[in-house]
Amino acid sequence: MDKKNIKTSNQELTKKDFVSDQDVRWCPGCGDYAILSQVQKVFPQLGIPKEKFLIVSGIGCSSRFPYYMDTFGFHSIHGRAPGFATGAKLSNPNLSVWIVTGDGDGMSIGGNHLIHILRRNIDVNILLFNNRIYGLTKGQYSPTSELGKVTSSTPMGSLDHPFNPPSLALGAQGTFVARAIDTEQKHLAEVLKMAHEHKGTSFIEIYQNCNIFNDGAFSELTNKESKIDTQLVLENSKPMTFGENNNKGIILDGSKLKVVQINGKYSIDDILVHNQNNKNLGMLLSEMTYDSNLPTPIGIIYQEEKETYNSLMEKQISEAKSKNPQTSMDKLLHSGNTWEIK
């Protein structure tokens, strides 16, 4: 059973129903608070019984999330949340499973687990909080820290080229790849709802400010004065425009994306229209991330319909049962060659 088949509860739920009795122990001003608040607001709107939610996390600041949600939760081990979530979903298909991870937990020690849950298309949702730093261990550079980043572990600047989470997810055959920002509350809520509706693995990278060890990492995207020129809000089937009065747009210049002014030379008809089902376009959009000459895309970068691992497994089990309808574990253990030890 996939997410769309989860039975709707007759009980009307509110945000308060998802707020636990635990004190939230993040640093004051942390972007995690904003994400937590939106998840608590969105969950009651999904029409799912409260007992059908499961939140699984790994290790890191973001991974305290299950404590603060009044749902079933699993604070697992470093980088292994996708494995725990896979087992939970396959054995309990009625659950709505949400994985909460960070750029360190998910992209470093958990990178291998992340790419395999994406390629398998398990019917779960992944929220990757990206603050481009290791916050829990006091400010070392992470797999998404920009080249040259000065931190406590890279005093002369990082020499690593960073991971680009949406590109990585697309390369791992992800079927729903999106990006949101902690402070863009309304937009974040919309993306969370669309992730829930998707049948398969939903991957959302959420830019999250760590105001202690990497404050202002995304300030150009969040400041009122600058974000109009730095955010490219993606809307399916609509031209990719941004800027004051949408006076700028994105065109395809050869094999690369380019910003143009919408004026006499370029009209709205010249601007690329977003097609979230076009994987080639999705890859181009994901590669805008570290390009200072281009805005940063937020929203649904790519989405496709593909049969889930869950569905394929259920079909295989049904087929096996149809061929051997009387099979039981006891009969299986006593079939074929057996030995009696005395």
Q: Please tell me the predicted confidence (pLDDT) of residue 8.
A: 47
- Dihedral pair phi/psi, residue 7, rounded to 5°: -65, 140
Written as six digits, the tokens of 81 are 């949340």
Listed residue (19, 254, 58, 284) closest to 170, CA to CA: 284
Cα end-to-end distance, the chain, whole Å? 46
Among the listed residues 213, 57, 232, the one whose alpha carbon sits nearest the alpha carbon of residue 129: 57
| Residue 245 confidence (pLDDT) | 92
Helix (H, G, I), strand (E, B) or coil at 89: helix
Helix (H) or strand (E) holding 99: strand 96-102
pLDDT truncated to tens, each residue of the chain (342 aa)?
444 444 445 679 999 999 999 999 999 999 999 999 999 999 999 999 999 999 999 999 999 999 999 999 999 999 999 999 999 999 999 999 999 999 999 999 999 999 999 999 999 999 999 999 999 998 999 999 999 999 999 999 999 999 999 999 999 999 999 999 999 999 999 999 999 999 999 999 999 999 999 999 999 999 999 999 999 999 999 999 999 999 999 999 999 999 999 987 999 999 999 999 999 999 999 999 999 999 999 999 999 999 999 999 999 999 988 887 767 778 777 778 878 888
309-323 vs 81-91: helix axis angle to the nearest 10? 40
Which alpha helices (H) appear in the chain, and where do they start and end?
32-42, 65-68, 81-91, 103-104, 111-120, 165-171, 185-197, 219-222, 227-230, 279-286, 309-323, 329-333
Q: Which of 122, 231, 139 is nearest to 187 (CA)?
A: 231
Residue 299 forms beta bridges with which residues? Answer: 179
- Asked if 316 contacts 324 with a C-beta cutoff of 8 angstroms, the reply is no
At 156 the three-state DSSP class reads coil
Amino acid (1-letter code) at residue 237: S
Which pLDDT score is estimated for 331? 79
Residues 286 and 166 sit within 8 Å (Cβ to Cβ): yes
Question: How many residues would you count in the chain?
Answer: 342
pTM of the model as a whole: 0.92
Strands 202-207, 176-181: pairing is: parallel
Cα 38 from Cα 118, distance rounded (Å) = 24
What CA dihedral angle connects 186, 167, 76 and 96, to 10 degrees? 50
Task: Check residue 261 and give its pLDDT.
Answer: 96
Do residues 68 and 87 touch, judged by C-beta distance below 8 A?
Answer: no
Of the candidates 153, 156, 74, which has an alpha carbon nearest to the alpha carbon of residue 108?
Answer: 153
Query: What's the pLDDT score for residue 97?
Result: 98
Contact 78, 58 (CB under 8 A): yes
Q: How does strand 231-233 pair with strand 296-303?
A: parallel
Sign of torsion over alpha carbons 82, 88, 89, 94:
negative
Domains of the chain: 3-234+298-314 (3.40.50.970)
- Tell me, rounded to whole angstroms, the distance of Cα 276 from its chain centroid: 16
Do residues 231 and 250 touch, judged by C-beta distance below 8 A? no
